[in-house]
């Protein structure tokens, strides 16, 4: 099928364009004649950008589908402008076997809403010590992670990196020294981040750091990046939006940090040390949140949150936001999207940058409603989302 997308303001990681986009069978192509087009899509002068990729989400499937499942999570992702996600492995059972991994991948593909990648656990069932399950790692696995836990044992983590390098698989790491976190969570994150930056540097191993939240952890990442380590990192919208002034009412892991930490994360984004914005979308029931379960949903509001904090404030340009919400995370997941150029996937998110809206609980598509943004006025409304040239979401607000 040949399509022409017209009448838009196009933003990718480097350029702004008003030129039409030509799509054939879901891929951006060079120009063809309008007479050849099967469909001409009027974008109504909206901002068109490559749809977003989230490297850190929890869809709770299998085992906790009363909170979220692959289908509801996919709809929530589309509402937020995302067409690719990386799922964490703290399901029930955990993703420590080819059978569980393949089942999730197959069901995600059959749903056919967004692209889904699934991590595999670093240690078997998060036991912190067993690595032999990696001997049967499916070839399509891109990342391994014990998200929700740090790998406390120094030797096990070293051996895990050696094994991951041999297998050619990346790591995305939750950094937290368990016995320290109850005493000083800031030190707990900083200390493990420093250890794993050093391991990655010495082993020449690509490692991705999840939901970085402290000045200390980001300083370590900056230092080892400057040394040439193959490390990348992500920050979350909620750690950019909130700080200690309101953190007592926000149970999340890692916690909402001091204003000093938030400002340093913003500085590192501006200087180009942050590779991705990832939501850590964490659905919970109302009862679980009441009982202190950590985490919040955020994939539906991520763009609006970051647009306000980073672009409207003048810290970075919209092109730079596209880079860390689409281009770089897509590169890290080896997905051919994130640019408005021939050869790239026709995954587009159309945004009304001038439109404000109140985020209401009744508008949430996620199965869970535990959002920090309910009742807030947000800017940058996601109007339409295309995956492979196919309309997957349209805003009916």
> What amino acid positions are annotated as catalytic residues?
280
Q: What angle do CA 391, 20, 33 make, to 5 degrees?
A: 100
Asked if 150 and 192 touch (Cβ cutoff 8 Å), the reply is: yes
Q: For residue 7, what is the DSSP state?
A: E
Asked if 336 and 327 touch (Cβ cutoff 8 Å), the reply is: no
Q: Residue 262 and residue 57: Cα distance in Å, rounded? A: 21
In the structure encoding, which two tokens stand for residue 345, read together?
Answer: 């996937």
List the beta bridge partners of residue 390.
387
What φ, ψ does residue 198 adopt, rounded to 5°? -65, -45
Residue 286: CB atoms within 10 A of its CB come to 10
CA 336 to centroid of chain Cα atoms:
16
CA distances from 154 to 104, 222, 295 (A): 31, 22, 27
């Amino acid at each position: 099928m040949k399509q022409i997308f017209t009448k838009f303001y196009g933003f990718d990681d480097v350029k702004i364009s008003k030129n039409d986009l030509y799509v054939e069978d879901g891929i951006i192509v060079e120009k063809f004649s309008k007479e050849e087009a099967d469909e001409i899509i009027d974008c109504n002068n909206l901002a068109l950008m490559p749809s977003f990729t989230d490297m850190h989400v929890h869809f709770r499937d299998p085992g906790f589908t009363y909170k979220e499942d692959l289908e509801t999570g996919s709809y929530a992702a589309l509402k937020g402008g995302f067409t690719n996600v990386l799922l964490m492995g703290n399901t029930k059972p955990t993703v420590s076997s080819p059978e569980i991994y393949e089942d999730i991948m197959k069901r995600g593909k059959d749903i056919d809403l967004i692209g889904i990648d699934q991590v595999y656990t670093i240690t078997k069932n998060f036991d912190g010590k067993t690595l032999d399950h990696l001997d049967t790692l499916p070839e399509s696995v891109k990342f391994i992670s014990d998200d929700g836990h740090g790998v406390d044992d120094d030797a096990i983590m070293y051996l895990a990196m050696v094994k991951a390098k041999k297998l050619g698989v990346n790591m995305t790491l939750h950094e937290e020294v368990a016995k320290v976190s109850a005493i000083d969570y800031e030190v707990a994150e900083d200390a493990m981040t420093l250890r794993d930056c050093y391991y990655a540097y010495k082993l020449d191993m690509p490692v991705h750091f999840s939901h970085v939240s402290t000045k200390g952890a980001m300083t370590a990442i900056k230092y080892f990046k400057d040394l040439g380590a193959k490390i990348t990192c992500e920050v979350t919208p909620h750690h950019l939006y909130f700080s200690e002034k309101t953190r007592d009412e926000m149970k999340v892991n890692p916690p909402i940090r001091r204003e000093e930490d938030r400002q340093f994360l913003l500085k590192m984004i501006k200087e180009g040390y942050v590779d991705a914005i990832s939501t850590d979308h964490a659905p919970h029931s109302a009862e679980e949140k009441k009982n202190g379960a950590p985490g919040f949903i955020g994939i539906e509001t991520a763009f609006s949150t970051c647009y306000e904090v980073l672009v409207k404030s003048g810290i970075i340009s919209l092109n730079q936001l596209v880079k860390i919400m689409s281009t770089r995370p897509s590169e890290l997941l080896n997905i051919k999207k994130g640019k408005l150029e021939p050869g790239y996937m026709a995954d587009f998110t159309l945004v009304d940058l001038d439109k404000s809206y109140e985020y209401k609980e009744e508008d949430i598509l996620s199965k869970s409603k535990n959002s920090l943004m309910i009742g807030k006025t947000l800017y940058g409304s996601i109007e339409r989302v295309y995956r492979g040239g196919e309309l997957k979401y349209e805003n009916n607000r």
